[in-house]
Structure 1
Amino acid sequence: MGNDDTAARAGDDGRGTAAVAHQELTERRFPEGQRRIFLAAIDAFAERGFHATTTRDIAARAGLSPAGLYVHFGSKEEVLYRISLSSMRLTHQVAMTAAAVSGSAADRLAAVVRDLTVWHAEHAASVRVVLHHLTDLTAEHRTEVAAIQIGIHRLVRDLVDQGRAAGVFEVADTNAVTLALMSLCVDTARWYQPEYRRTPDQIGADYAVLALRLVGAPPA
């Protein structure tokens, strides 16, 4: 599905792009056993850490035999890689779709920060696993996942540059501000819990306002 289609779906039913991307994740044609392994691995890595987790642990949590896990994945590192790659690709999709909304640079930056914040809150458990265990990937896999991270960072930086060039953002150091904006979104996953008193949508709306203050955009 292309970004235009995703944006259209978000507009048609009133949901944000993060919600649409989440539905697309669940609609992907992963075999049922593979999806169970993903969920089991996220729980195991979060609870025990990558190195203390065995393929037997993951298989047991997924209700499979160890041999059943190897039908889908060759190693626990491959499981971590596939989780990381899927998560990062969908995060990138959320950012690209939000950045494609019509409006000013301020509108688009606010949309990106809002939707990335919602995404990281709603997927906090898997995001924490990815963030904490990137160094446990092979060099080749880590490079592939990091390249998508860089793409997300570049997208946000380009929006800041556009607003600065248009004279609507007051930014002395584009790279420093971009890093602060990304930290605002991503760090939500480090502390957010489902029982938190504010919803992901409320936090996303708050952070969108904070983002515009960070870039010195005039108040609406």
Structure 2
Amino acid sequence: MTTAHEFEPLDRTWRDVSPPAARRMLVAAAAAFAGRGYHATTTRDIAAQAGMSPAAVYIHYRSKEDLLFQISRIGHASSLAVLTSVTGTDPAARMAAAVSAFASWHAEHHTTARVVQYELGALTPPHLTEVVELRRRIEAAVRGMVEDGVAAGVFEVPDVRGATLAVLSLCIDVARWYQPGGRRTPADIGSLYADLVLRMLGA
């Protein structure tokens, strides 16, 4: 069985979740969903990975889907915070910093990011609606940076929407292939992708 610590420091991702037992459930669920996929994972699997009884799941969460929703909601909010925390007046520097932080986040938190990006189809319509709104805000943040660069004459982008999707796709895909202990650290990946994006935008 794959354990959470083999993926990433998940406790840091969920540090604001309380009580501790609820946090342990999210840690276990994120690792299980990333390793097996949502549909192949049972609540018994999650409870066993958390070192708790199956009944303990329902003390804190209504269902397996509720666990997925909390992971998806918190994961999206965390990555959005990474983007919106970047400030500065120089469009190229701001874009580079944002891409570096966003790509690094998807490497460092690749377990969470895999679940966040690839298990959306399992969410109920109300939960999906809430998560989609967070995704729209993420896209808007990146699109705004591209637009600022175009307006300042720093970026040469004939299709702002297409360029925005390209930037997001590049960063998000890190979660699919990244493995800890490889040649590049999350920070290395962030620096590489920041340079690639600026070249792509014609900075």
- The TM-score, its normalising length taken from structure 1, stands at 0.84
- 1:83 alignment counterpart: 71
The equivalences for 1:31-50 within 5 A come to 31-50=19-38
Matched, 1:125 2:111: yes
**Aligned with 1:61 (options 49, 73, 79):** 49
Deviations 1:82-137 (A, max 9, x none): 00000000100000002xx2230111111110000010000111111121210000
- 2:83 alignment counterpart: 95
How much does 1:150 deviate? 1.1
Looking at structure 2, the residues matched to 56 and 193 of structure 1 have their Cα atoms a distance apart, in angstroms, of 27
Looking at structure 1, the residues matched to 136 and 13 of structure 2 have their Cα atoms a distance apart, in angstroms, of 22
- 1:166 alignment counterpart: 152
- 2:124 alignment counterpart: 138
Contact 2:14 2:27 in 1 (8 A): no
**RMSD (Å) for aligned C-alpha atoms:** 1.5
How much does 1:23 deviate? 8.9
Looking at structure 2, the residues matched to 89 and 161 of structure 1 have their Cα atoms a distance apart, in angstroms, of 23
Residues 97 and 87 of structure 1: CA distance in aligned 2, closer, same or farther (over 3 Å): same
How much does 1:43 deviate? 2.2
How much does 1:194 deviate? 0.3
How much does 1:64 deviate? 1.1
Q: Tell me, which stretches of 5 or more residues in structure 1 are unaligned?
A: 1-21
Residues 189 and 92 of structure 1: CA distance in aligned 2, closer, same or farther (over 3 Å): same
Looking at structure 1, the residues matched to 37 and 14 of structure 2 have their Cα atoms a distance apart, in angstroms, of 25
Residues 129 and 142 of structure 1: CA distance in aligned 2, closer, same or farther (over 3 Å): same
Looking at structure 1, the residues matched to 11 and 111 of structure 2 have their Cα atoms a distance apart, in angstroms, of 17
Deviations 1:149-188 (A, max 9, x none): 1111111111111111111111111011111111111111
Looking at structure 2, the residues matched to 41 and 168 of structure 1 have their Cα atoms a distance apart, in angstroms, of 43
Q: What letter matches 1:145 in structure 2?
A: V
How much does 1:148 deviate? 0.5
Q: Which moved more, 1:37-46 or 1:199-208?
A: 37-46
Matched, 1:180 2:187: no
Looking at structure 2, the residues matched to 184 and 49 of structure 1 have their Cα atoms a distance apart, in angstroms, of 22
Q: What letter matches 2:154 in structure 1?
A: V
Deviations 1:37-63 (A, max 9, x none): 112112221233212221111111111
- The TM-score, its normalising length taken from structure 2, stands at 0.91
Q: Tell me, which stretches of 5 or more residues in structure 2 are unaligned?
A: 1-9
- 1:17 alignment counterpart: none
